[in-house]
Structure 1
Amino acid sequence: MENKVEVNLLFETLLSSPGMNEPVKLDIKLTRKATLALAAGLQAGLTGAKEGPSSLLFFAGEAVAADLGDFIERLLSKAGLTEVHEKLQQLSKA
């Protein structure tokens, strides 16, 4: 239990550091394959963060989760992969 408290304190400390709420501009170039993989990984992380206080995303809050959700949508849209991603999600659920 003590270890969990220490991890929680570490996450809260990291997220309250100066400058953590400042926007950052990213200029990246990825293949479409890597873009799909990144989007899937981010979504899996967002889903896992809702399960319990064992991840940084859990402590970051709903605003950060919403920002990441918007980022995933923009990422897929710019790569022209929104429809492909949606169909892959449907297939993986079946």
Structure 2
Amino acid sequence: MANSSLETIYETLLAVPGMHDTVKIDLKIPRKTVLLLTEVITRGMEQKPESGNPAIRISKESEEELNTIIAESLEKAGLTILSSKLKGLTNHG
């Protein structure tokens, strides 16, 4: 499927009525998975378009929601400081 078609499909699905409804997701996952999941979400939001693989367009509202999910997940897992220190290492290294 062409990348522009896939982008159009995602944009259409995100605009469907009911997509803004809140759902409760109860996850019981290991801390290592929380750390990996939050990093994958962060990297996905920072992703730049590549040839053959366009970045997903994220609205400001969705970006804020995802950042809240990241922060809350790290806090609940007791990994906020560790994650911060890891980011500091990757930014300086």
TM-score range (shorter-chain normalised) is 0.7 to 0.9
Cα distance in 1 for residues equivalent to 2:30 and 2:3: 38
Specify the alignment match of 2:54 in structure 1.
54
C-alpha distance in structure 2 between counterparts of 1:46 and 1:4, whole Å: 18
1 CA distance for matches of 2:38 and 2:4?
A: 31
- 2-structure distance, mates of 1:34, 1:6: 32
Offset at residue 64 of structure 1 (A): 0.4
Write the deviation string for residues 35-77 of structure 1: whole angstroms up to 9, x where unpaired: 11011111001111xx359244x1x411001100011000000
Unpaired stretches in structure 2, ≥5 consecutive residues:
none
Residue of structure 1 in register with 2:80 after alignment: 82
Partner of 2:36: 37
Partner of 1:91: 89
TM-score between both structures, scaled by the size of structure 1: 0.83
Aligned length: 89
> Which amino acid letter does the alignment assign opposite residue 88 of structure 1?
L
Unaligned runs of 5+ in 1: none
Q: Are 1:65 and 2:75 counterparts?
A: no
**How large is the Cα RMSD of the aligned pairs?**
1.9
Q: Which moved more, 1:77-86 or 1:3-12?
A: 3-12
Instruction: Provide the rounded CA distance (Å) in 1 between the counterparts of 2:43 and 2:4.
Output: 25
Structure showing the higher helix proportion among its residues: 1
Kindly, what percent of the aligned residue pairs are identical? 31
